[in-house]
């Protein structure tokens, strides 16, 4: 029976042009979204490399200056920018702390449109002032991006719905159900076989078109494991939707009702659940107010400023160049400046830390909520695979903060030792290297999806609906 089913199904799909239509649609959707994703990644890479190149060029100029200074020559730049001063290096020659795209970055925009991908921390100024958000038009953030994740999470289920909603009901409507009922196979098993065959064909089409699109777009080495995981996720998610279609096919009766039910499910899983969960999360665990945090910081800053003034003439605090250029000022301005900055930093740290902890709690709660909805699980996993999830940007931020500290510490050592920065020190300047976090939750996600799908199918076999009780042929 299975063999008959297989051959009949293939013929049917080919003759009704479903396979042809789906291939074209999938190629178009995957193609367009991959182009979008790739162009974003390329822009990101170009931005970073331009920034790095600029640093390289100013470094060359800096080394030349250093050379002149070391040879005792006169230089024609403002005195506070001469790189023999370690603070001049720290402020005017910052390094690029860049978050290079991961090999699979093109599959999901995730939070990539919201956050910046490179930052140049300097020695003066405080870390809280580092702005990690990117300059993007908010309309773009609101609408989101047409990326591969969107196609997989939102559109693929709709294709599945269109492909499966009338497997059983069309037999009834065409009058071939009686014929089918006379076959030596239970109807549920028959529907299951038929859906699994469709799942097989759709999987094949999805795999082929994805591979074709990715090959055309160009694959980096080491990317194949990522592509395999991507396919695995997509297939597990598809299986979930086929399982839902299986239930609807055996429990609901007419084609139109099937379609409506499946679409309702789609609306619930893809549109409503995420937004409801998001709202629940925000209501139960509100995001701490930034406005109130600013208030608190301002009050503390006022106090810190007073203490700062004891260390430093308040005017000079804001204008180091004055202290350095003005011969009447003592030369060790930066010693005191760095000390006073530390005062502010220590004063504000508890507030920032308190805020961050509260935020962390809120976010980890949101993270737990995702397991309720397969849609969110897939979206999150795809973003993780692409290295564009919230966690990745949090990780990057942490690394940049650490690097900023390292940069400051390295150069203040020169400052406090009163040793000038020289050409030979150039090579030992701290460099930033982004370390991507490894996460295994992608495999957990696949397992969870598989489990849900199996449970749903099991439910379909175990429970008798109204139609089964009455008998499928009765009207």
Partner 1 sequence: MILKTFFKESKELLRDGRVRAAFAIVIILLGIAVWISARQYQNTNEQYLVAEAAEREVWDNQGEKNPHSASHYGTYAFKPKYPLSLMDQGVDKYMGASIFLESHKRNEAQFSAAADQTGLARFGDLTPDFILLFIIPLLIILLGYNSFTKEREMGTLTLLKSQGVRPWKWAVGKWLSLFFPIFMVTAILFLIAGILLSNLQDFGVFKWGSLLAMFIVYVGYYIIFINIILFISAKVEKSGIALVLSLSVWILACLAAPKAASNLAETKHPFPTRQEFAANISKDKQEGLNGHNPWSKESKLLEQKVLAEHGVDSIHQLPFNFDGYRMQKGEEHEAEIYFKHYNYLKEQYAQQSDVYKGLAVISPYLPTRFLSMAIAQTDYGTHWDFSDAAEEYRIATQKFLNDDFAQNSTYGDWSYQADSDFWKKLPQFEYEPPQLGSIIRSNASSIWILGVWIVLSFSIFLLTTKTI
Give the residue with the Cβ less far from partner 1, 185 or 260. 260
For the chain, the straight-line distance linking the first and the last C-alpha, in angstroms and rounded, comes to 27
Q: What is the DSSP letter of 183?
A: S
Give the residue with the Cβ less far from partner 1, 134 or 425. 134
Q: In whole angstroms, what is the distance from residue 150 CA to residue 145 CA?
A: 8
Query: What values do phi and psi take at 313, rounded to 5?
Result: -60, 120
**Distance of closest approach, residue 179 Cβ to partner 1, in angstroms:** 21
Tokens of 281: 């999360």
**Distance of closest approach, residue 228 Cβ to partner 1, in angstroms:** 23
**Distance of closest approach, residue 180 Cβ to partner 1, in angstroms:** 19
**Distance of closest approach, residue 408 Cβ to partner 1, in angstroms:** 19
Give the residue with the Cβ less far from partner 1, 358 or 423. 358
Give the residue with the Cβ less far from partner 1, 390 or 423. 390
Give the residue with the Cβ less far from partner 1, 121 or 414. 121
Alpha-carbon distances of 154 from 221, 262, 361, 437, 441, rounded to whole Å = 29, 14, 29, 27, 21
**Distance of closest approach, residue 386 Cβ to partner 1, in angstroms:** 11
Give the residue with the Cβ less far from partner 1, 209 or 383. 383
Rg of the chain, C-alpha, whole Å: 31
113 neighbors 136 (Cβ within 8 angstroms): yes
**Distance of closest approach, residue 287 Cβ to partner 1, in angstroms:** 5
Q: In whole angstroms, what is the distance from residue 118 CA to residue 52 CA?
A: 10
Residue 318's contacts (CB-CB under 8 Å, 6 or more residues apart) are none
Give the residue with the Cβ less far from partner 1, 84 or 145. 145
Give the residue with the Cβ less far from partner 1, 129 or 462. 129
Q: In whole angstroms, what is the distance from residue 380 CA to residue 389 CA?
A: 7
Give the residue with the Cβ less far from partner 1, 373 or 412. 373
Tokens of 284: 């139960």
- Name the percent of the chain in helix, strand, coil, to the closest 5: 75, 0, 25
Tokens of 311: 């260390």
Tokens of 333: 């301005």
Closest-CA residue to 422 (of 57, 93, 89): 89
**Distance of closest approach, residue 416 Cβ to partner 1, in angstroms:** 26
Tokens of 391: 């966690």
**Distance of closest approach, residue 458 Cβ to partner 1, in angstroms:** 27
Give the residue with the Cβ less far from partner 1, 212 or 372. 372
**Distance of closest approach, residue 294 Cβ to partner 1, in angstroms:** 6
Residue 116's contacts (CB-CB under 8 Å, 6 or more residues apart) are 131, 132, 133, 134
Closest-CA residue to 85 (of 404, 402, 430, 331): 331
Q: Say if strands 97-98 and 118-119 run parallel, antiparallel, or are unpaired.
A: antiparallel
Q: What is the DSSP letter of 119?
A: E
**Distance of closest approach, residue 283 Cβ to partner 1, in angstroms:** 6
**Distance of closest approach, residue 6 Cβ to partner 1, in angstroms:** 25
**Distance of closest approach, residue 80 Cβ to partner 1, in angstroms:** 10
SS3 call for 359? helix
Q: In whole angstroms, what is the distance from residue 363 CA to residue 36 CA?
A: 29
Give the residue with the Cβ less far from partner 1, 127 or 425. 127
Alpha-carbon distances of 22 from 32, 152, 304, rounded to whole Å = 15, 14, 65
Q: In whole angstroms, what is the distance from residue 473 CA to residue 65 CA?
A: 92
Give the residue with the Cβ less far from partner 1, 1 or 256. 256
Q: What is the DSSP letter of 48?
A: H
Residue 101's contacts (CB-CB under 8 Å, 6 or more residues apart) are 41, 44, 45, 117, 387
């Amino acid at each position: 029976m299975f063999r008959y089913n297989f051959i009949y199904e293939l013929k049917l799909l080919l003759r009704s042009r479903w396979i042809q239509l789906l291939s074209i649609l999938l190629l178009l959707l995957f193609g367009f979204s991959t182009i979008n994703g790739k162009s974003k990644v390329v822009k990101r890479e170009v931005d970073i490399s331009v920034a790095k190149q600029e640093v390289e060029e100013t470094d060359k100029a800096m080394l030349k200056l250093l050379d002149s200074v070391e040879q005792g020559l006169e230089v024609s730049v403002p005195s506070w920018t001469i790189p023999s001063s370690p603070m001049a290096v720290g402020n005017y020659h910052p390094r690029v702390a860049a978050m290079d795209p991961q090999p699979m970055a093109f599959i999901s925009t995730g939070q990539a449109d919201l956050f910046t991908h490179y930052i140049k921390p300097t020695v003066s100024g405080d870390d809280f002032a580092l702005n990690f958000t990117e300059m993007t038009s908010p309309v773009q953030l609101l609408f989101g991006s047409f990326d591969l994740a969107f196609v997989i999470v939102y559109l693929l289920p709709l294709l599945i719905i269109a492909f499966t909603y009338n497997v059983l009901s069309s037999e009834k409507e065409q009058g071939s159900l009686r014929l089918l009922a006379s076959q030596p196979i239970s109807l549920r098993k028959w529907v299951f076989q038929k859906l699994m065959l469709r799942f097989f064909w759709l999987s094949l089409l999805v795999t082929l078109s994805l591979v074709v699109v990715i090959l055309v777009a160009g694959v980096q080495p080491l990317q194949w494991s990522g592509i395999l995981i991507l396919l695995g996720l997509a297939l597990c998610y598809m299986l979930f939707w086929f399982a839902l279609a299986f239930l609807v096919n055996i429990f609901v009766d007419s084609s139109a009702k099937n379609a409506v039910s499946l679409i309702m499910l789609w609306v619930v899983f893809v549109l409503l659940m995420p937004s409801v969960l998001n709202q629940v999360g925000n209501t139960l665990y509100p995001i701490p107010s930034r406005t109130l945090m600013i208030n608190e910081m301002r009050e503390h800053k006022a106090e810190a400023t007073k203490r700062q003034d004891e260390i430093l003439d308040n005017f000079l605090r804001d204008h180091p160049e004055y202290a350095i250029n003005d011969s009447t000022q003592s030369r060790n301005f930066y010693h005191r400046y760095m000390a006073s900055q530390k005062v502010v930093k220590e004063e504000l740290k508890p507030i920032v830390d308190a805020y961050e902890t509260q935020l962390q709690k809120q976010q980890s709660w949101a993270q737990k909520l995702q397991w309720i909805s397969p849609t969110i699980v897939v979206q999150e996993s795809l973003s993780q695979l692409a290295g564009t999830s919230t966690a990745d940007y949090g990780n990057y931020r942490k690394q940049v903060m650490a690097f900023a500290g390292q940069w400051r510490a390295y150069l203040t050592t020169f400052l406090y030792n009163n040793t000038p920065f020289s050409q030979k020190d150039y090579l030992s300047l701290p460099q930033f290297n982004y370390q991507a976090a490894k996460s295994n939750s992608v495999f957990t996600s696949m397992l969870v999806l598989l489990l849900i799908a199996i449970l749903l199918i099991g439910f379909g076999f175990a429970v008798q609906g109204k139609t089964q009780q009455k008998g499928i042929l009765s009207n």
